[in-house]
Amino acid sequence: MHSKKQISHDECQETADWLMSQTKHRPQVAIICGSGLGMLADTLKCQVSFAYSDIPGFPQSTVQGHAGRLVFGELKEKTCVCMQGRFHMYEGHSLSKTTFPVRVFKLLGVETLIVTNAAGSLADDLQPGDIMIIKDHVNFPGLVGLNPLSGPNNDEFGPRFPAMSGCYDKGLRCLAMEIAKQQGIASLMQEGVYAMVGGPNFETIAEAKLLYRLGVDAVGMSTAPEVVVAAHCGLRVFGLSLITNKVVKSYEDSDSVSHEGVLSASQLRSHTVQQLVIDLIGRMEINNSKTTNNAV
């Protein structure tokens, strides 16, 4: 399952070429929608969309709340491509497959990747319904060698040993906070550290206590591999976690998390996330290299 075989540059190029033969859109911004957040794609103008099953080389979405459509279109005078549904390691995809769309986006000419996810909060001051701007991540699978960059390096995409400090663009993080203030939603927002665990089970209480002690603010089952691959090939990245639940970290607490609960919580705030992302896309500059002071 977690084969070290990388999908080749040629295979990524074949998919990119196929997409470019099917649509005139040449996206500058790519958006990966987290659980229950796919409605963002519906806001694109002049839409051209493809079922993942029709795109050569694309895996299939198997998770409820991930529709499995790639949508191209215009948003605030920027050309975008939106994944209505992402791929997770726990679905059985290799990490190379999980992150394959990111490399296809690079070959389509995308400069900025926006990743969103649904996550459970560990931080005492992050409540369900809050939105966390991802400042940094802990890639738990990556720390033990489950990394999409494992295997022979694909030099056409990036270096063997890419730096990951500053992989969440500081300029975009500041811009998002400024927009949140203007939209009157700053009280819902803060920056924090996202940790990816393998899933598909949610955390035990002992695991939750461990993550809390490590200083993780929110935990989920995605995003980090996509961001590693995006940083490797030089994409500018912005990430948001919508907090859908508090992670249970006390034996006295009888609460229990479910995917259905995650989906209904994310739907309650999907419009807010959508407005934030739309204005961020509207205000971000394209064709600029990454901001200079990018350290977290």
Ligand X SMILES: O=P(O)(O)O[C@@H]1C[C@H](O)[C@@H](CO)O1
Ligand Y SMILES: Nc1nc2[nH]cnc2c(=O)[nH]1
Catalytic residue annotation: 35, 66, 88, 90-91, 118, 221-222, 245, 259
137 marked ligand binding residue: no
Q: How many helices (H) and strands (E) does the chain have?
A: 8, 9
35 marked ligand binding residue: yes
Helices (H), the chain: 9-22, 95-98, 100-108, 140-143, 170-183, 205-214, 224-232, 259-283
Which residue's beta carbon is nearest to the bound ligand X?
A: 34
Q: Is 132 in the site for ligand Y (CB under 6 A)?
A: no
Closest separation between CB of residue 160 and ligand X, Å?
28
C-beta of 107 vs 216, nearer to ligand X:
216
Angstrom CA distances, 91 to 33, 98, 199, 273, stand at 17, 9, 9, 26
Cα dihedral: 79, 279, 283, 45 (round 10): 20
Q: Is 262 in the site for ligand X (CB under 6 A)?
A: yes
C-beta of 3 vs 201, nearer to ligand Y:
201
Closest separation between CB of residue 198 and ligand Y, Å?
9
Q: Is 38 in the site for ligand Y (CB under 6 A)?
A: no
86 marked ligand binding residue: yes
11 marked ligand binding residue: no
Closest separation between CB of residue 87 and ligand X, Å?
9
DSSP class of residue 27?
Answer: -
C-beta of 32 vs 107, nearer to ligand X:
32
Q: Contact at 8 Å (CB) between 108 and 91?
A: no
> Cis before residue 101, ω within 30 degrees of 0?
no
C-beta of 88 vs 246, nearer to ligand X:
88
Out of 7, 32, 219, 263, the only residue in the binding site for ligand Y (CB under 6 A) is: 219
Q: Contact at 8 Å (CB) between 33 and 40?
A: yes
Residue 147, number of CB atoms within 10 A of its CB:
19
What residues form the annotated binding site for a purine D-ribonucleoside? 203, 245
Residue numbers at the binding site for ligand Y (CB under 6 A): 118-120, 197, 199, 202-203, 219-221, 244-245, 247, 257, 262
